Amino acid sequence: MQWLDQSIMARKGVAGGKSGQEHTITEAEQGRYHYVYGPFAEPVLTVDPGAVVTVETHDAFEGKIRHETDSPTQILNFPYLNPQNGPIFVNGAEKGDCLAVAIRSIRPRGPQPCGTTLIMPEFGGLVATGDTALLNPSLPERVRKLEVTAENGVRWNDRITLPYQPFIGTIGTSPEIEAISSLQPDYYGGNMDLPDVGVGAVIYLPVNTEGALLYLGDCHAAQGDGELCGVAVEHPTHTTVQIDLIKGWTFRWPRLETADFYMTIGSARPMEDAARIAYRELVRWLAADFGFDEIDAYMLLTQCGRVRLGNMVDPKYTLGASITKAIAHA
């Protein structure tokens, strides 16, 4: 990740993008995991900008789905889903700042098969749900337990093995006064399920409250665009992130940087609103920081913008809009 030295995090961060003190949040240190993003929980850790934190994340079901014969509806207890580590209090962070989080590594942990995906009633992109509320009968439940290793990938069956391309499904800062389900993505991040939030990327999150209060969890070993049935290859991990703080960089929705591109992330329903949010933020970013006229940015993105669909299953849908650095810096 050589490019990181030239990242926005390196150029503007309080810690200059340099690694500082190392921390851990093991399962034991975490104790109770959290199911909301909010300011009401006590920080599990307080760090300075530059901190490198290794977290033991649970899978989205907190490890309760162990066998392919398990019944999700009998085992899972809504709304106690998608357990999150944190919150991490970042010294110096105030409303109006930006929290930069570089994703350094994600490794599977726990006994095999450590990957889980499943079908459960009223959840998913191709079924009736609580919101798209219909009278059709549900699909039957189905559970798949999958062997997942960094070396060999995700073993789907005898014929198909998918590469291990892990990312953080849910990550964000706390809202200012709300505490919102970790199942939801929104302006502060949350359950975006966007594969670009993977190893080597830096995500920039708006700080809405003192200390930023970073939460994360829900790592996916592999996921297609849209997370179609609502459950990627969920797995528990050791996830290492480097945290920095950019004072006074104020924006509304999460942003992301990789070696190759800049991305803005919108979450909303209907899906076109997620796309509008993402692209409008990108237009404004190009105008604010890259010297583009706003209308010119709008016309240029028409010719070269890229869109990644994160999820089409959560309470809000998530899309990222991006432009290559080659063009943005031309």
The piece of 14-22, 92-100, 140-148, 196-204 that touches a copy of itself (CB under 8 A) is 140-148
Angle at 58 between CA 244 and CA 63, to 5 degrees: 175
Q: How far is the CB of 306 from a copy of itself (least distance, A)?
A: 5
DSSP characters over 258-270 = -SSEEEEEEEESS
Q: How far is the CB of 327 from a copy of itself (least distance, A)?
A: 6
C-beta of 137 vs 248, nearer to a copy of itself: 137
Spatial contact of 179 and 172, defined as CB atoms under 8 Å apart? no
Burial of 135: CB neighbours in 10 Å, binned 0-12, 13-18, 19+: exposed
The piece of 7-15, 65-73, 166-174, 177-185 that touches a copy of itself (CB under 8 A) is 177-185
- Among residues 254, 222, 252, the alpha carbon closest in space to that of 235 is found at 222
The piece of 16-24, 34-42, 95-103, 239-247 that touches a copy of itself (CB under 8 A) is 34-42
Spatial contact of 97 and 247, defined as CB atoms under 8 Å apart? yes
Give CA–CA dist 50/92, Å, rounded: 12
Q: How far is the CB of 235 from a copy of itself (least distance, A)?
A: 12
For 281, the token pair is: 């933020």
Burial of 121: CB neighbours in 10 Å, binned 0-12, 13-18, 19+: middle
The piece of 17-25, 95-103, 196-204, 273-281 that touches a copy of itself (CB under 8 A) is 273-281
Spatial contact of 228 and 124, defined as CB atoms under 8 Å apart? yes
Is 147 a binding residue for a copy of itself by CB under 8 A? The answer is no
C-beta of 48 vs 147, nearer to a copy of itself: 147
Binder of a copy of itself out of 36, 60, 90, 241 (CB under 8 A): 36
The piece of 47-55, 82-90, 240-248, 276-284 that touches a copy of itself (CB under 8 A) is 276-284
Is 15 a binding residue for a copy of itself by CB under 8 A? The answer is no
Binder of a copy of itself out of 18, 107, 247, 280 (CB under 8 A): 280
Restricted to residues 182-221, the positions that interact with a copy of itself (CB under 8 A) are none
Give CA–CA dist 297/274, Å, rounded: 19
Task: Return the H-helix or E-strand segment holding 12.
Answer: helix 8-12
Binder of a copy of itself out of 126, 150, 259, 288 (CB under 8 A): 126
Binder of a copy of itself out of 53, 266, 285, 318 (CB under 8 A): 266
Q: How far is the CB of 254 from a copy of itself (least distance, A)?
A: 14
- Among residues 110, 272, 255, the alpha carbon closest in space to that of 196 is found at 255
Q: How far is the CB of 92 from a copy of itself (least distance, A)?
A: 23
The piece of 84-92, 104-112, 127-135, 198-206 that touches a copy of itself (CB under 8 A) is 127-135
Is 314 a binding residue for a copy of itself by CB under 8 A? The answer is no
Give CA–CA dist 32/86, Å, rounded: 10
Q: In a 3-state reduction of DSSP, which class is residue 300?
A: helix
DSSP at 88? E
Binder of a copy of itself out of 275, 285, 286, 314 (CB under 8 A): 275
C-beta of 31 vs 130, nearer to a copy of itself: 130
Spatial contact of 243 and 51, defined as CB atoms under 8 Å apart? yes
Restricted to residues 234-263, the positions that interact with a copy of itself (CB under 8 A) are 252
Spatial contact of 1 and 18, defined as CB atoms under 8 Å apart? no
Q: In a 3-state reduction of DSSP, which class is residue 25?
A: strand
Q: How far is the CB of 255 from a copy of itself (least distance, A)?
A: 15
Is 76 a binding residue for a copy of itself by CB under 8 A? The answer is no
